[in-house]
Every structure is written in structure tokens, then in C-alpha cells.
Structure 1
């Protein structure tokens, strides 16, 4: 089999239906499977998938589990994957035309490539930042608070988002957003998948860092695009109020784990 598509679901049953429909409507010569790992959803996702998706799409498999986090969920799903390439996707991704085949070809035609990701766009078709430089200690604070509007904050975010690069052309990058990318199975095996110490956030940065460390390259490939129904990160709150937001706290906790793990490497 060419490709195993891994999707971790947590209370996003309608988005899962939308993704499977978009994936199954593509005219691709690749053989593929879609593995959905349900992380203990409470919205009836698993039952809906069994009732409405599995009978209709023979390429789809469902794994029921508990909420172990984003990275661990993908690790579980991909243990039994049959493809030579793995595709990590969020449920809020919609595939456009045959975006899968050219992405797969770009990755597999060069032995040096380990990971490749497409251009991600918002529903209004504007480009979404999805390839970045390695984060520094204060990067998430600048991103999530008004401190990002200060001179130091603006400089750091310009560096982080690689704004000096023309994103119309393929390029080697530090890391790609975990919303959608492909990774060769042998690379995934070499680096032992996602580090499960990250419950949510930074596991994609860590995975790309391990990929580079294993001698493989990470590439951004904007020749194909996929829609990502992702909310733009808001920095409207005062910085000290943002720290009491649960999502921000989880993000910063994961970021500190990342900084601690890689500080001496």
C-alpha cells in the first residue's frame, strides 16, 4: 500500500465526515487507507463513524480509545498502518483536487526527504502560516499576547514565520505544522513517532527536529494546497490574562518541555 492517512478525532464528528468525503472523492492512482483514532469523544463521533462512514468507505478503519493526546493518538493509529508513507491530518482539513499524489511523489522521489507538507489556506483562500523556524523561549508568549506587537515581539514573529521567504516555491524548512504533512514510514520508525510527553502542541516541532537529527530533510511544498479550518490565533487579551486561558497554559507547558529537551542539542 502506498499511503496511510492518520486522523485523530476528539468531538469533531462533522469535520471527520467532511474530511473523509473530500479524501474519497479524489481521483488518485495511489492505494491508501484512512485510519481514524477516536480519543474518547463524547459527541457520539465513534458511533457515527461506525454507522455512517465505515459501511460507505471500505478504505476507512476506526480505532476507539481514550483521550491520550494528539501525538499519542497518531502513534496508536499508525501501529497497524500498511502504507509506505504516513499522512498526518487534522479533522478540519479539506483536500482540494488531487493534492495527495503530487505531495507523495515529491516526498518519495528523493531519498534525502523525510517530511513534506503542503500549502495550507484558510476558507477565504488566504495563505495560512504552516512552515516556521525553530521557536525560542518567548515565541509563544509573543504569539498569544499583545507583547507580539512590541518591537522585539514583531522581530521575533517575523523570524519565526519565515517572512523573508517567498512561499510560492518549495523550500527546506525547520518544521511544519502538524495539521497536515507526509512522512516516510522508515523515517517514522527511525525516530519512533511522536514524543507522547506532549499532550498537545509542540509535538510537530519535536517530530521535525528528530527528523533533521536522523539525517532527513523537512520540506514545504506549496505547489499543492489544502483548506484548513483553523481559527487565527488571537492576541487580544492582556498578557497576564492570557496565562489563565487553559489552551495557552497547555501550549506554554508543552513549549517548556520542548525547550528543556532540546536546549543542549
Structure 2
């Protein structure tokens, strides 16, 4: 496989409102550095795939059935030829030079497995994308009915790293899945995303596995990306997406903090899934 500098993978599902702006900003930057853009459309009911197909030199794959965030991004990564891979949400707008900043950083820091740009809301405010690993307290503060009272608590603020100096490049526990920039070696030493998570928490899991394999995870604020941050799981306390978040957190808790139960084994089968994905598309 001949390698190019960068492959950007973006998964769409009814993102027609955003994908055009995303690709308008992304395609020129990727083309300039000799990279590629891969869009995986996850059974959209709108014009997301049609919009993406209008851009030249973009690979667009359309699912025949709806799949999870991990499965879709794993498929895109298996198709990718880049030395570096960027998983990027379709509701983002890459700012000029951001990709160069992340590539340069990774080139000069070989022990870093993943880095992430500084995400900003459309109004320019900094988004809390670097995070600390969840604890029981932070989960209660963020995902239980008590979150109405604990939104400004130390538990929530600590999880969101509100004490962070956002002007400094620095190591972090994990990064929001909207922007995950990795070196290809991660797929060989850590494996792809765990497809046992359909949606949510897969970004936390991946970073945890990177740390366990002695890779560093870094926040690189010199690279900036606008993120519209739909955050559907934060809109309503009792919703389908909130329930999916609970399920993913339960999987994460069982996987790392509870003793294994044979008939409820959830040990990650990432390596097997990855090899199966490669065999399927090659």
C-alpha cells in the first residue's frame, strides 16, 4: 500500500445541514497536503451523500444498513492510505493550517499516538474537548437526574478540565471523538475502535487503550476547528440517545472496573473485527 500524508474519515447520518460547509473547508486543506477524504454515509434520509458526491476526488461509501460510530470509522480507516488518520465529525469546519499543525506535532513527538485540535463553538468560544477519564462522581454529575443541580459542580468542571490552560499544548486523558488524529501504528499496536460501543464512549475507551499501550494523548490548541456540537444526548435527560450513553458507560464500566463474568464477557474483539473488516473490503 502506497502511503499518503493524511486520510480524513467523516461519517454522516442526516448531516446535510453541515456536510457542505465541512467539505468546503476541509477539501482544499487536504488537497494541498496531498491527502484524501473518505465519507461514510450511515443510511441518511436526507441529501448528505448526494452533497458529498459533488466534491471531486472524495471517496463516498453508502451503508446498506445502519452501523455504529465505531464500525463506520473502522471501515473508513480500513479503506484509508494515510500515514496519519483523522476521524472528523461532519459538523466541523477545519481552519486554515490546522491539519499542518497536527501533522507537524505528530512528526516531532513520536510517542504521541493521538492528538486533537482545539475545538471552538461557532461563536468562537472554546469547547471543552480535552477531558479527564470519567469517575462515578462525574458520571452522576453529567448523566443522572442530579445533573440539573451539579452542572457547575467541581465533579463536572473537573471532568471537563475547566482548570486547563487552553493556550498550551499538553497531555490529556482523552479527547472528544469529533476530532481524533492518530498515527497508523495505533491500528497495529492498540487496534481500531471497539465496535461493542454503538454510539458514545468509544473515544474514551480508545484513549484508555492507548495509554495502556504506552502511547501519549495530547491536546494541540495551535490547530483549531469549529465544531457545531449537536450533542443530542445532552438535549434531554430521558431520550433514546441518553439511554445509548448509559449503555455505553455500562459497557465501559464492566470492561475496566468489574471482574469478568464468563457468560457476559465483553472483552474487546477489536483485533478480530479489524482483520475481518480488512478481508471484507480487500
Give the superposition deviation at 1:234.
Answer: 8.6
SS of match in other structure, 1:192: coil
CA contact (8 A) 1:123 1:229 kept: yes
CA RMSD of superposed structures (Å): 2.3
Cα–Cα, structure 1 residues 151 and 68, in superposed 2: closer, same or farther, change >3 Å?
Answer: closer
Distance 2:138 2:159 in 1: 8
Partner secondary structure for residue 67 of structure 1: coil
Question: Distance between the aligned counterparts of 1:158 and 1:91, measured in 2?
Answer: 27
Whether the 8 Å contact between 1:90 and 1:179 is mirrored in structure 2 is yes
Residue in structure 1 matched with residue 249 of structure 2 by the alignment: 255
Q: Deviations over 1:203-257 (max 9, x none)?
A: 00011111111110000011121100014789786xxxx2x31111111111111
Taking structure 2 as the reference length, what is the TM-score of the superposition?
A: 0.83
CA distance in 1, matches of 2:151, 2:145: 12
Q: Distance in 1 between matches of 2:210 and 2:171?
A: 13
Instruction: Measure how far apart 1:153 and its partner are.
Output: 7.3
1-side partners of 2:44 and 2:81: how far apart?
25
Per mean C-alpha deviation after superposition, the further-off stretch among 245-254 and 132-141 is: 132-141
Where structure 1 has 5 or more consecutive residues not aligned to the other structure, the ranges are none
Equivalent position of 2:271 in the other structure: none
Matched, 1:76 2:79: no
Task: Write the distance in 1 (CA, Å) between the matches of 2:213 and 2:99.
Answer: 25
Q: State yes or no: 1:47 paired with 2:45.
A: no
Q: TM-score, normalised by structure 1?
A: 0.88
Q: Distance in 1 between matches of 2:42 and 2:190?
A: 23
Match of 2:61 in 1: 63
Distance 1:157 1:32 in 2: 38
Cα offset, 1:139, TM superposition: 2.8
Q: In the superposition, relative to structure 1, how do residues 114 and 9 fare at CA in structure 2: closer, same or farther (>3 Å)?
A: same
Superposition map of 1:1-265 within 5 A: 1-26=4-29, 30-50=33-53, 52-53=54-55, 57-58=56-57, 60-65=58-63, 66-144=65-143, 147-148=146-147, 150=149, 154-231=153-230, 242=237, 244-263=238-257
Distance (whole Å) between structure 2 residues aligned to residue 9 and residue 236 of structure 1: 20
SS in 2 for 1:181: strand
Superposed displacement of residue 27, structure 1: 8.0
Shift of 1:144: 4.2
Structure 2's unaligned 5+ residue stretches are 260-282
Q: Give secondary structure in 1 for the equivalent of 2:135.
A: coil
Match of 2:280 in 1: none
SS at match of 1:262: helix
Inter-partner Cα distance in structure 2 for 1:129 and 1:203: 18
SS of equivalent residue, structure 2 residue 10: strand
What is the DSSP-based 3-state SS (H/G/I as helix, E as strand, rest coil) of the residue aligned with 1:102?
helix
2:267 paired residue number: none
Deviation at 1:2, TM superposition (A): 0.4
Secondary structure of the residue aligned to 1:118 is strand
Q: Secondary structure at the match of 2:224?
A: strand
The question of whether the paired residues in 1 share the 8 Å contact of 2:150 and 2:156 is answered with no
